[in-house]
Amino acid sequence: MTLLLVPVLFIAGAMTVRRANMEFEHWRSVDRAAMFIGRVTMMLVVLLTSVMLYEVFLRYVLERPTLWANELSLWLAGFVFLMAGLYAMQQRSHIRIFLLYDVCPRWVQRLFDCITTVLIVMFAFFLVYGSYKQVFENKLYKWETFGTAFDPPIPATLQPLVLIMISLVAVQAVLNLISDWNAEPEIHDDTPDEDEIQALKRAVGQD
């Protein structure tokens, strides 16, 4: 019953997600899944921080460390790391080298974007194709655990999530390519972006 609620909650969250002031402006309805996963990732960061603070308090103040906090932190950090990649792709916030890109005409920039997207899709395809059986049959189906006292199912959950998230990143890369195809070229320089500064001020309530 609990597993049946996951897709329902995901659809409800994706349909109701709203863009924050500092986020990428030109988003579409197809970006809702990535936006909602980004929101879940942000909440997981809060949960991860709370677990770590709780463990620090018990270990160094009460001198009663837990058996589960460290491994739960690793587990949550794995989810955050993997899920944040999709959100970063949707926000176009991955590190990019613009030295050559900016001086090229728009048609060459589109060619670079196509090559990048094809490489991402190829990487995702071969990663899933090469490890699908091992991950889903040996890890998930057999519910492999961490082998410790707390024994969380880190291999059984994170390894399938790697394949799921890299597939979603590839899909999002294609969506970005389509969405940005007719966009005006963006010029990158060292001067402060006043629009971005104002957006940050509005986000923190300083306008």
The pLDDT confidence band at residue 10, using thresholds 50, 70 and 90, is confident
Helices first, then strands: H and E counts in the chain: 6, 0
Higher pLDDT, 197 or 146: 146
Tell me the average pLDDT of the chain: 86
pLDDT at residue number 57: 94
Query: What confidence tier does 23 reach under pLDDT thresholds 50, 70, 90?
Result: confident
The reported pLDDT for the residue numbered 203 is 67
- Which of 36, 29, 31 minimizes the C-alpha distance to 14? 36
Q: Residue length, the chain?
A: 207
Tokens 């109701």 identify what position?
16
In the prediction, which pLDDT does 202 show? 72
H-state helical runs in 64-204: 69-90, 106-133, 154-179, 194-203
* pTM of the model as a whole: 0.83
Which amino acid is residue 69, in one-letter code? A
Euclidean distance between CA atoms 191 and 194, whole angstroms: 9
For residues 27 and 31, what is the distance between their CA atoms, to the nearest angstrom?
Answer: 6
Distance from C-alpha of 97 to C-alpha of 80, rounded to nearest angstrom? 25
pLDDT at 195 over 80: no
More confident residue, 28 or 173: 173
Contact residues for 153 (Cβ-Cβ < 8 A; gap 6+): 143, 144, 145, 146
**44: burial class by Cβ within 10 Å (0-12, 13-18, 19+)?**
middle
91-to-54, 86, 109, 188, 193 alpha-carbon distances in Å: 32, 9, 18, 16, 17
Query: What is the C-alpha separation between 48 and 42, in angstroms, rounded?
Result: 10
pLDDT of residue 188: 66
pLDDT of residue 160: 94
CA 116, chain centre distance (Å) = 18
- pLDDT tier at 120 (50, 70, 90 boundaries)? very high
Mind listing the pLDDT tens digit for each residue in 63-98?
899 989 999 999 999 999 999 999 999 988 887 777
As a whole number of angstroms, the distance between CA 101 and CA 112 comes to 8
* Predicted pLDDT at 1: 57
Residue 207 has pLDDT above 60, yes or no: no
193, pLDDT greater than 70: no
